[in-house]
Structure 1
Amino acid sequence: MSSVSPLPDLPKSGISLPDTPLIREALDHLKKYTNPTTVNHCIRSAYFAILLSRKIARNRSKPLDVELVVFSTIMHDLGWATDKMLLSKDKRFEVDGANMARSYLEEVKLSVGWDRHRTQLMWDAIALHATPSFALHKEPEVMLAHIGIMADFWGLNYPGYPITIDENKEIVDAFPRLGFKEQFLDIMCGLCALKQGTTYDNFVGEYSVEYGLDGKGAGKEEFAKKRLAFSSPRGFYPAVGAYEQDED
């Protein structure tokens, strides 16, 4: 193992991430399948998660599984893989990422101590990372992965979670954003173009309703009509009525 960690300590913020073989190999795996902007976003999310783990109230009856939190945040956007052949046609990107991370754990020989429960927590942390109504009410590791990821979007403006100017600057200076805002829009719209049906019932579809399938407005009206037709109550509620008529 190299003496220089790819995830250095941040002394001003007092953040130290675990420098384990699994974490190092996971980071290499992420770099292999995603672009540098995504890599830096995932790493920043890990730092924010550990930073906020010290600041928020949580059940401390059990020690926090820091390696699980960091592994989950580092791997959480494998569903944005640059090679689209790696992605499913029928699953949300978060589920793709969770499945890919689980497959990785099953293949490597570094996941000592990752029993079924620990692996399930990791899967939940990735699959639910963009759904606060679930993630915030799960185990501490799942919750912290979520807020670490969201903190990288909100920064100093993250409601309810105190991040100082100096803390935010130290993390972003160490792993720059590299045009994350623009690339995020391209990724969201790209997912809508690649597998529309997986985006109708969640936030991803909102981007193509607003910006089209190419981020510049192309196909937005047709996409919006399809999404509206799918969404409840226009789709779900009439189906309930039809089912009741069948019973008469």
Structure 2
Amino acid sequence: MSSNATLPDLAKAGISLPNTPLIRGALGHLKKYTSPTTVNHCIRSAYFAILLSRKIPRSSSEPLDVELIVFSTIMHDLGWATDKTLLSKDKRVEVDGANMARSYLEEVKLSNGWDKHRTQLMWDAIALHATPSFALHKEAEVKIAHIGIMADFWGPNYPGYPITIEENKEIVDAFPRLGFKEQFLDIMCGLCALKPGTTYDNFVADYGVEFGLDGKGTDKEDFAKKRFALSSPQIFYPAIGSYEQDGD
């Protein structure tokens, strides 16, 4: 996929994604820094997002910012970059992705119309994409980006969201999964090994506790102990007592 790559229309599902310079450039950027499996996951997420945006009732009559949704879903896993030197040492993987996408907007001069609010929505869509308790209660573009990304994990089994077997098949046939399940586990466990401190307060650490630092159970007990030691009841709650005692 070159920097001039475009996304095909999917006739059966009736999905057409925007063919703008920004989206074409984002596709090339995604391929440059992530694996083919990640590339296909992000592209499928964009298709699912636009598919479901037509099926989910909305309270607002304002038109959706489709380019923002597609850009955000395409770029949402830049934090899975194959070159680990591109990643921060102290930020969650979703924040890395959001920051990298924002930097891309700043570096390329294709962001006309991306004012501060629009850029913030994009950042939120990426940073919150794995946190439904936030994303589902944000602006429509943030919510739909999250739903599209989660749809690629569930497919037709996505609870509460109508995806037919035929729609799912057309998207997956166009952009195959390429061992996504196995690579996802490798990435999650890899993050637990690479920068564990950024995982302890979120879902990524669940994979370290369950599967260890290599997906095969290595050091999972030690990782679980460190996560527990830094959990809120062990750190935050005692701090309240210490503060109140000092204040007496």
Q: Provide TM-score, normalisation by structure 1.
A: 0.97
2:102 maps to 1:135: no
* Aligned-partner SS, 1:234: helix
1:56 aligns with: 56
2:146 aligns with 146
Question: Residue 238 of structure 1: CA displacement?
Answer: 1.2
Summarize deviations over 1:85-133 as a string: whole Å, max 9, x none: 0000000000000000000001101111111100000000000000000
User: Aligned partners of 2:43, 2:58: CA distance in 1, in Å?
Assistant: 23
Partner of 2:70: 70
| Contiguous gaps of at least 5 residues in structure 1 | none
Bigger shift: residues 220-229 or 233-242: 233-242
Question: Secondary structure of the equivalent of 1:45?
Answer: helix
Aligned pairs (5 A) from 1:188-199: 188-199=188-199
Shift of 1:61: 2.5
Tell me, in whole angstroms, the C-alpha distance in 1 between the residues paired with 2:177 and 2:6.
17
Amino acid at match of 1:238: P
Could you say what secondary structure the match of 2:232 adopts? coil
**How far off is 1:134 after superposition?**
0.2
**Would you identify which runs of 4 or more consecutive aligned residues in structure 1 move more than 2 Å?**
none
Structure 2 unmatched ranges of 5 or more: none
More moved, 174-183 vs 110-119: 110-119
In the alignment, the residues of structure 1 paired with residue 42 and residue 175 of structure 2 have an alpha-carbon distance, to the nearest angstrom, of 10
Structure 1 CA distance for aligned equivalents of residues 160 and 231 of structure 2: 31
**Alignment partner, residue 19 of structure 1:** 19
Q: Deviations over 1:19-62 (max 9, x none)?
A: 10100000000000000000000000000000000000113331
Query: Aligned partners of 1:56 and 1:213: how far apart in 2?
Result: 38
How big is the shift at 1:5? 5.8
Mapped to 2, the partners of 1:232 and 1:114 lie a distance apart of 38
- Equivalent residues in 2 for 1:38-187 (5 A)? 38-187=38-187
**1:180-221: CA deviation from partner (whole Å, max 9, x where unpaired):** 000000000000001001000100000010100011111100
TM-score norm. by structure 2 comes to 0.97
Give 1:69 deviation, angstroms: 0.1
Question: Contact (CA 8 Å) 1:213, 1:220: kept in 2 or not?
Answer: yes
Separation in structure 2 between the aligned mates of residue 176 and residue 228 of structure 1, nearest angstrom: 38
